[in-house]
Amino acid sequence: MTDEIWNKVEDYLNTALGGSDPALEAALAASAEAGLPDIQVTPNEGRFLHLLARAVHAQRILEIGTLGGYSTIWLARALGEGGRLVTLEADAHHAEVAQRNIKREGVARVVDLRLGKALDTLPGIAAEGGDPFDFVFIDADKANIPAYFDWAVKLSRPGALIVVDNVVRKGAVVDPSNETEDVLGVRRFLERLSADRRVVVTALQTVGAKGHDGFALALVI
Ligand code: SAH
Ligand code: DHB
Ligand code: MG
Protein backbone atom coordinates (compact mmCIF):
# COMPACT_ATOMS: atom_id res chain seq x y z
CA MET A 1 0.00 0.00 0.00
CA THR A 2 2.79 2.46 0.87
CA ASP A 3 4.14 2.38 -2.70
CA GLU A 4 0.76 3.17 -4.23
CA ILE A 5 0.93 6.16 -6.56
CA TRP A 6 -1.65 8.03 -4.48
CA ASN A 7 0.82 8.19 -1.57
CA LYS A 8 3.31 9.96 -3.81
CA VAL A 9 0.59 12.32 -4.95
CA GLU A 10 -0.44 12.97 -1.35
CA ASP A 11 3.16 13.86 -0.44
CA TYR A 12 3.39 16.07 -3.49
CA LEU A 13 0.15 17.89 -2.64
CA ASN A 14 1.18 18.28 0.99
CA THR A 15 4.45 19.85 -0.05
CA ALA A 16 2.80 22.03 -2.68
CA LEU A 17 0.07 23.27 -0.34
CA GLY A 18 2.07 23.55 2.87
CA GLY A 19 0.95 20.45 4.81
CA SER A 20 0.59 20.99 8.56
CA ASP A 21 2.25 24.05 10.09
CA PRO A 22 4.41 23.71 13.25
CA ALA A 23 1.45 24.06 15.63
CA LEU A 24 -0.46 21.27 13.89
CA GLU A 25 2.71 19.15 13.71
CA ALA A 26 3.13 19.62 17.47
CA ALA A 27 -0.43 18.36 18.01
CA LEU A 28 0.28 15.28 15.87
CA ALA A 29 3.54 14.59 17.69
CA ALA A 30 1.91 14.93 21.12
CA SER A 31 -0.95 12.66 20.06
CA ALA A 32 1.45 9.99 18.80
CA GLU A 33 3.55 10.34 21.96
CA ALA A 34 0.42 9.79 24.08
CA GLY A 35 -0.39 6.59 22.12
CA LEU A 36 -3.46 7.88 20.27
CA PRO A 37 -4.33 6.02 17.06
CA ASP A 38 -3.11 7.66 13.84
CA ILE A 39 -6.61 8.14 12.41
CA GLN A 40 -6.99 11.91 12.28
CA VAL A 41 -7.75 13.61 8.98
CA THR A 42 -4.83 14.21 6.62
CA PRO A 43 -3.44 17.75 6.26
CA ASN A 44 -5.31 18.29 3.00
CA GLU A 45 -8.54 16.97 4.51
CA GLY A 46 -7.98 19.36 7.42
CA ARG A 47 -7.55 22.14 4.91
CA PHE A 48 -10.74 21.02 3.16
CA LEU A 49 -12.74 21.19 6.41
CA HIS A 50 -11.21 24.57 7.17
CA LEU A 51 -12.14 26.08 3.83
CA LEU A 52 -15.68 24.69 3.87
CA ALA A 53 -16.19 26.19 7.33
CA ARG A 54 -14.87 29.52 6.06
CA ALA A 55 -17.07 29.32 2.98
CA VAL A 56 -20.18 29.26 5.21
CA HIS A 57 -18.72 31.98 7.48
CA ALA A 58 -18.95 29.55 10.37
CA GLN A 59 -19.55 31.13 13.76
CA ARG A 60 -20.78 27.92 15.36
CA ILE A 61 -19.11 24.58 14.57
CA LEU A 62 -19.96 21.13 15.95
CA GLU A 63 -17.50 18.25 15.78
CA ILE A 64 -18.36 14.70 16.83
CA GLY A 65 -15.13 12.75 17.54
CA THR A 66 -12.22 14.89 18.76
CA LEU A 67 -9.37 12.39 19.15
CA GLY A 68 -6.26 14.57 19.75
CA GLY A 69 -7.88 17.69 18.35
CA TYR A 70 -6.09 17.81 14.99
CA SER A 71 -9.26 18.41 12.93
CA THR A 72 -10.54 20.57 15.80
CA ILE A 73 -7.61 22.97 15.36
CA TRP A 74 -8.13 23.20 11.58
CA LEU A 75 -11.80 23.99 12.18
CA ALA A 76 -11.28 26.37 15.10
CA ARG A 77 -8.96 28.45 12.91
CA ALA A 78 -11.83 28.92 10.46
CA LEU A 79 -14.07 30.61 13.03
CA GLY A 80 -14.88 34.27 12.66
CA GLU A 81 -14.46 36.72 15.54
CA GLY A 82 -16.64 35.59 18.46
CA GLY A 83 -17.14 32.12 16.95
CA ARG A 84 -17.34 28.90 19.00
CA LEU A 85 -16.65 25.25 18.34
CA VAL A 86 -18.18 22.42 20.35
CA THR A 87 -16.36 19.09 20.08
CA LEU A 88 -17.58 15.78 21.54
CA GLU A 89 -15.29 12.99 22.70
CA ALA A 90 -16.10 9.79 24.61
CA ASP A 91 -12.57 8.77 25.59
CA ALA A 92 -11.14 10.63 28.59
CA HIS A 93 -7.53 10.07 27.55
CA HIS A 94 -8.17 11.37 24.03
CA ALA A 95 -9.98 14.37 25.48
CA GLU A 96 -7.08 15.16 27.82
CA VAL A 97 -4.53 15.03 24.98
CA ALA A 98 -6.83 17.14 22.79
CA GLN A 99 -7.29 19.73 25.51
CA ARG A 100 -3.51 20.14 25.78
CA ASN A 101 -3.13 20.36 21.99
CA ILE A 102 -5.92 22.92 21.72
CA LYS A 103 -4.39 24.98 24.51
CA ARG A 104 -0.92 24.90 22.97
CA GLU A 105 -2.36 26.09 19.68
CA GLY A 106 -4.08 29.00 21.43
CA VAL A 107 -7.64 28.14 20.39
CA ALA A 108 -8.79 26.91 23.82
CA ARG A 109 -10.83 30.09 24.29
CA VAL A 110 -13.13 29.18 21.41
CA VAL A 111 -13.23 25.39 21.85
CA ASP A 112 -15.75 23.76 24.16
CA LEU A 113 -14.79 20.09 24.57
CA ARG A 114 -17.51 17.90 26.06
CA LEU A 115 -16.47 14.54 27.47
CA GLY A 116 -18.96 11.70 27.08
CA LYS A 117 -20.64 9.58 24.46
CA ALA A 118 -22.00 11.93 21.84
CA LEU A 119 -25.51 10.47 22.05
CA ASP A 120 -25.45 11.40 25.75
CA THR A 121 -24.07 14.93 25.29
CA LEU A 122 -26.03 15.98 22.18
CA PRO A 123 -29.39 16.31 23.98
CA GLY A 124 -27.76 18.74 26.44
CA ILE A 125 -26.46 20.85 23.58
CA ALA A 126 -29.94 20.95 22.07
CA ALA A 127 -31.43 21.86 25.45
CA GLU A 128 -29.04 24.80 25.87
CA GLY A 129 -30.80 26.39 22.91
CA GLY A 130 -27.74 28.17 21.48
CA ASP A 131 -27.55 29.51 17.93
CA PRO A 132 -27.77 26.80 15.27
CA PHE A 133 -24.55 25.36 13.85
CA ASP A 134 -23.14 26.52 10.51
CA PHE A 135 -20.85 23.53 10.07
CA VAL A 136 -20.78 19.99 11.48
CA PHE A 137 -18.04 17.37 11.18
CA ILE A 138 -19.15 13.81 12.05
CA ASP A 139 -16.11 11.62 12.74
CA ALA A 140 -16.75 9.36 15.75
CA ASP A 141 -18.03 5.76 15.93
CA LYS A 142 -19.53 4.80 12.58
CA ALA A 143 -22.41 2.67 13.91
CA ASN A 144 -24.11 5.83 15.17
CA ILE A 145 -23.69 7.92 12.01
CA PRO A 146 -27.45 7.84 11.22
CA ALA A 147 -28.27 9.22 14.67
CA TYR A 148 -25.46 11.79 14.55
CA PHE A 149 -26.64 12.96 11.15
CA ASP A 150 -30.17 13.46 12.45
CA TRP A 151 -28.83 15.51 15.34
CA ALA A 152 -26.59 17.50 13.01
CA VAL A 153 -29.51 18.44 10.75
CA LYS A 154 -31.70 19.26 13.72
CA LEU A 155 -29.08 21.53 15.30
CA SER A 156 -28.03 23.33 12.08
CA ARG A 157 -29.29 26.36 10.19
CA PRO A 158 -30.45 26.21 6.57
CA GLY A 159 -27.29 26.69 4.51
CA ALA A 160 -25.13 24.77 6.98
CA LEU A 161 -22.71 22.11 5.72
CA ILE A 162 -22.32 18.67 7.29
CA VAL A 163 -19.31 16.47 6.51
CA VAL A 164 -19.48 12.77 7.42
CA ASP A 165 -16.08 11.05 7.39
CA ASN A 166 -15.22 7.45 6.52
CA VAL A 167 -18.25 6.36 4.50
CA VAL A 168 -16.31 4.07 2.15
CA ARG A 169 -13.87 2.28 4.46
CA LYS A 170 -11.69 0.57 1.87
CA GLY A 171 -14.79 -0.51 -0.03
CA ALA A 172 -16.30 -2.30 3.00
CA VAL A 173 -19.52 -0.42 2.29
CA VAL A 174 -20.15 -2.61 -0.79
CA ASP A 175 -18.80 -5.88 0.64
CA PRO A 176 -21.95 -7.94 1.40
CA SER A 177 -20.03 -10.22 3.77
CA ASN A 178 -19.21 -7.22 5.97
CA GLU A 179 -22.00 -6.77 8.48
CA THR A 180 -20.06 -5.06 11.26
CA GLU A 181 -21.92 -2.42 13.24
CA ASP A 182 -19.75 0.27 11.69
CA VAL A 183 -20.47 -0.70 8.11
CA LEU A 184 -24.18 -1.25 8.80
CA GLY A 185 -24.29 2.26 10.28
CA VAL A 186 -22.65 3.76 7.20
CA ARG A 187 -24.99 1.90 4.83
CA ARG A 188 -28.09 2.85 6.78
CA PHE A 189 -26.98 6.48 6.62
CA LEU A 190 -26.20 6.48 2.88
CA GLU A 191 -29.27 4.53 1.83
CA ARG A 192 -31.63 6.97 3.53
CA LEU A 193 -30.15 10.04 1.91
CA SER A 194 -31.99 10.00 -1.40
CA ALA A 195 -35.30 10.25 0.45
CA ASP A 196 -34.06 12.89 2.89
CA ARG A 197 -35.79 16.16 1.96
CA ARG A 198 -33.87 18.12 4.61
CA VAL A 199 -30.59 18.09 2.70
CA VAL A 200 -28.85 18.14 -0.66
CA VAL A 201 -26.03 15.64 -0.50
CA THR A 202 -23.16 13.97 -2.26
CA ALA A 203 -20.60 11.30 -1.31
CA LEU A 204 -17.11 11.05 -2.78
CA GLN A 205 -14.39 8.42 -2.62
CA THR A 206 -10.90 9.45 -1.62
CA VAL A 207 -7.48 7.86 -1.75
CA GLY A 208 -4.41 9.12 0.05
CA ALA A 209 -2.29 8.67 3.13
CA LYS A 210 -5.18 6.90 4.91
CA GLY A 211 -5.84 4.50 2.02
CA HIS A 212 -9.21 4.21 0.27
CA ASP A 213 -12.12 5.94 1.99
CA GLY A 214 -14.62 8.70 1.36
CA PHE A 215 -16.87 11.33 2.86
CA ALA A 216 -20.41 12.58 2.47
CA LEU A 217 -21.12 16.29 2.19
CA ALA A 218 -24.60 17.60 2.93
CA LEU A 219 -26.10 21.06 2.59
CA VAL A 220 -29.01 21.72 4.95
CA ILE A 221 -31.95 23.30 3.13
N1 SAH B 1 -11.80 14.11 14.16
C2 SAH B 1 -10.50 13.58 14.58
C3 SAH B 1 -10.46 12.07 14.53
C4 SAH B 1 -11.54 11.39 15.33
S5 SAH B 1 -11.23 9.65 15.53
C6 SAH B 1 -9.43 14.17 13.67
O7 SAH B 1 -9.60 14.06 12.44
O8 SAH B 1 -8.44 14.74 14.15
C9 SAH B 1 -12.73 9.16 16.30
C10 SAH B 1 -12.89 9.63 17.74
O11 SAH B 1 -14.25 9.40 18.11
C12 SAH B 1 -12.01 8.87 18.74
O13 SAH B 1 -11.29 9.76 19.54
C14 SAH B 1 -13.03 8.11 19.59
O15 SAH B 1 -12.66 7.98 20.95
C16 SAH B 1 -14.26 8.99 19.46
N17 SAH B 1 -15.53 8.31 19.74
C18 SAH B 1 -15.83 7.00 19.52
N19 SAH B 1 -17.07 6.75 19.92
C20 SAH B 1 -17.59 7.92 20.38
C21 SAH B 1 -18.84 8.31 20.93
N22 SAH B 1 -19.83 7.43 21.08
N23 SAH B 1 -19.02 9.60 21.29
C24 SAH B 1 -18.02 10.50 21.13
N25 SAH B 1 -16.82 10.19 20.64
C26 SAH B 1 -16.60 8.92 20.27
C1 DHB C 1 -10.93 5.05 11.86
C2 DHB C 1 -11.73 6.12 12.26
C3 DHB C 1 -11.69 7.31 11.56
O4 DHB C 1 -12.45 8.37 11.91
C5 DHB C 1 -10.85 7.45 10.46
O6 DHB C 1 -10.84 8.64 9.80
C7 DHB C 1 -10.05 6.40 10.06
C8 DHB C 1 -10.11 5.20 10.77
C9 DHB C 1 -10.98 3.79 12.61
O10 DHB C 1 -11.75 3.69 13.57
O11 DHB C 1 -10.24 2.88 12.24
MG1 MG D 1 -12.41 9.86 10.36
Residue 3: per-residue pLDDT? 79
What is the overall mean pLDDT for the chain? 97
Residue bearing the CA closest to ligand 2, atom 8 = 39
pLDDT band at 1 (very low <50, low <70, confident <90, very high): low
| Residue 29 in contact with ligand 2 by CB distance below 6 A | no
| Rounded Cα gap, residues 92 and 79, in angstroms | 26
Looking at ligand 1, which residue's alpha carbon is closest to its atom 22? 117
Whose CA is closest to atom 3 on ligand 2? 39
Q: What are the pocket residues of ligand 1 if the criterion is a CB atom closer than 6 Å to any ligand atom?
A: 39-41, 65-67, 70-71, 88-91, 94, 117-118, 139-141
| Ligand 2 atom 4: residue of nearest CA | 139
CA–centroid distance, residue 63 to ligand 2 (Å): 15
Cα first-last separation, the chain: 40
The overall pTM is greater than 0.95? yes
The distance of Cα 173 from the centroid of its chain, to the nearest Å, equals 19
Query: Is there an atom of ligand 2 within 6 Å of 165 CB?
Result: yes
**pLDDT tens-digit series, residues 27-71:** 999 999 999 999 999 999 999 999 999 999 999 999 999 999 999
> What's the confidence (pLDDT) of residue 81?
95
Cβ(56)–Cβ(158) below 8 Å: no
Could you identify the atom of ligand 1 that is nearest to the CA of residue 46?
A: 7
User: Helix axis angle, 181-193 relative to 145-154, nearest 10°?
Assistant: 40
Output the pLDDT for position 43: 96
Ligand nearest to the CA of 85: 1
Residue type, 153: V
